[in-house]
Structure 1
């Protein structure tokens, strides 16, 4: 190889690597914005089935969009006005009861009661380890300052979360209004011979994602309402707060209901707030509810979404949560469903033709 050719190849290769690194750096820098865009598009697709249903009833698209957005805003406002005062009141009660709970923890009588309830656990040893860890943090001024810094970071994260909600809401409005033009523009990028097939596949994916979003929100709402009723009946502490936790965790598919249920049971087990009996009854209820949700509610509510094997659901939720947090866990299942749909209708038929 001539020297000038070697230099040219090396230069082009270096420039290619540099451009690749620049693209990766840009994607990493824009990760927050890309997350907002993905969340807004996800929500816009979730509203699309309701808009399409109204369009089939004769309403113009702009009227259907206004009706759906008005209904969503009214429902969200009503829920906030109904739930927030109760949650604030119960959180205030929790703050007022905090000294009594701490005083209860300062004695060892509850340790003996807990040891009798769970003889297999080394309750006193666990308590001593936790107490030593807390005392170590309090007695170390450096760690106290780190804790204060962590609180400041939490405050910044809350402010960023509020800003993110506003941005996602605005983007959702834009995407909802311009979803069809966006799809038509995307179709123009595909060769004419493949355009009809691509459009059909895209419509299937978007419809599946829309029905998935509606179904998951419906399942979360059912869990939240039933949790509030049941926890109020058994006398669990702060049923409105715990029901809100159940609703939020249930938005995450499969693992969310389990995680929220475990957290609620642990709260019911806290001395001064609940009791082992209350926690046991709550655990039995959530075990039964998860069976009903898995075998009765979910198949009927999700019957129009793309079916995804349970193993793929778990893997997708864990991978999405690791990459993008809660949002990643939410959108991981539709992404996996879209990938399976493409494999079934594009990849496998092409392999069978060979």
Structure 2
């Protein structure tokens, strides 16, 4: 018996390791689905405050859900039909300008212009020959990369549709999910758990609305300002500013850098335009960091600035963009649990 115990212990430990590895592999295979579900729940919690607001205005639950879903879908379709055609039109204009420019000069003239710009320190013809040779030698790899990029775009559109459908489903079923979750908690602790869960879900919802408000503010102001200064493709870059601002902490600065670089590439002979754009985004980032974001986010999640930075960096490192999005409300939930659960227990000891 004494000989068998170590063997059994080792066998069980080995089986446990195998089971843990199998579970890890399954989670890895389901990472995309888990991301879709997490994003949908996150967005559903963002729509829930609107539903609750309508319910407080004496609307029944089903009517509040219907109004919220119709408004959300209407906003999505409206943005699609208002912004996407403009983006496509301006992107097509950019492509046509590039085509017209390339067709107006010969390859030799282009190389001579580049050579005169860089001087005699670099032989542009040799560099061009090396680039052509590299493309010829790696044509299969480049073609595969282009195909992979196309598949990423298709998967992104497919994923957005799935997230939209799941969001609508979770928004309609959120109360049922909450009630089912509360039933799993012992009856003596159910009321406290339900109260804490409602506070957390409300905090997440306010955070989503606040982040969307910041992104919308950046997008609208960017479009107005870029149109006033005569920047190229204002709708495209305003849309980039909106999407980038949805990412907390680093989104605004990343979008601003992309916009300024885009203006430098499109308007190399108009430094006043992209310098003005750079100054504007420097001022706007200060305004957002010290005025807009504190007033909106402090009311939404009430998380100290240091914890916001640490949470966003940690979430982005672990789960990418989704992690950066959910990190701040998760930090708010942890702080809420500490204040209402951990600290009271410590005070009773």
RMSD over aligned CA atoms reads 2.7
Alignment of 1:1-354 (within 5 A): 2-99=2-99, 107-108=113-114, 136-140=130-134, 141-270=136-265, 272=267, 275-354=270-349
CA contact (8 A) 1:265 1:283 kept: yes
C-alpha distance in 2 between matches for 1:47 and 1:131: 58
Shift of the alpha carbon at 1:58? 0.8
Cα 1:353–1:25 shift into 2, 3 Å: same
C-alpha distance in 1 between matches for 2:348 and 2:123: 64
Unaligned runs of 5+ residues in structure 1 are 113-123
Secondary structure, aligned partner of 1:302: helix
CA contact (8 A) 1:65 1:177 kept: yes
Cα 1:275–1:41 shift into 2, 3 Å: same
C-alpha distance in 2 between matches for 1:98 and 1:10: 67
Secondary structure, aligned partner of 1:304: helix
C-alpha distance in 1 between matches for 2:225 and 2:324: 27
User: Counterpart in 2 of 1:119?
Assistant: none
C-alpha distance in 2 between matches for 1:319 and 1:76: 31
Shift of the alpha carbon at 1:23? 1.4
- TM-score, structure 1 length as denominator? 0.88
Shift of the alpha carbon at 1:320? 2.5
- TM-score, structure 2 length as denominator? 0.90
Cα 1:18–1:291 shift into 2, 3 Å: same
CA contact (8 A) 1:86 1:240 kept: yes
C-alpha distance in 1 between matches for 2:138 and 2:317: 27
Shift of the alpha carbon at 1:305? 1.5
Secondary structure, aligned partner of 1:236: coil
Q: Deviations over 1:89-109 (max 9, x none)?
A: 100111012246667985359
**Number of aligned residue pairs:** 342
User: Counterpart in 2 of 1:118?
Assistant: none
Cα 1:175–1:312 shift into 2, 3 Å: same
C-alpha distance in 2 between matches for 1:7 and 1:246: 61
Shift of the alpha carbon at 1:270? 1.4
Shift of the alpha carbon at 1:151? 0.8
User: Counterpart in 2 of 1:117?
Assistant: none
Comparing 329-338 with 168-177, greater Cα deviation is found at 329-338
C-alpha distance in 1 between matches for 2:124 and 2:179: 59
CA contact (8 A) 1:100 1:272 kept: no
Cα 1:318–1:200 shift into 2, 3 Å: same
Comparing 301-310 with 4-13, greater Cα deviation is found at 301-310
Cα 1:345–1:109 shift into 2, 3 Å: farther
Shift of the alpha carbon at 1:343? 2.3
Unaligned runs of 5+ residues in structure 2 are none
C-alpha distance in 2 between matches for 1:255 and 1:131: 40
C-alpha distance in 2 between matches for 1:93 and 1:7: 73
Cα 1:238–1:43 shift into 2, 3 Å: same
CA contact (8 A) 1:90 1:241 kept: yes
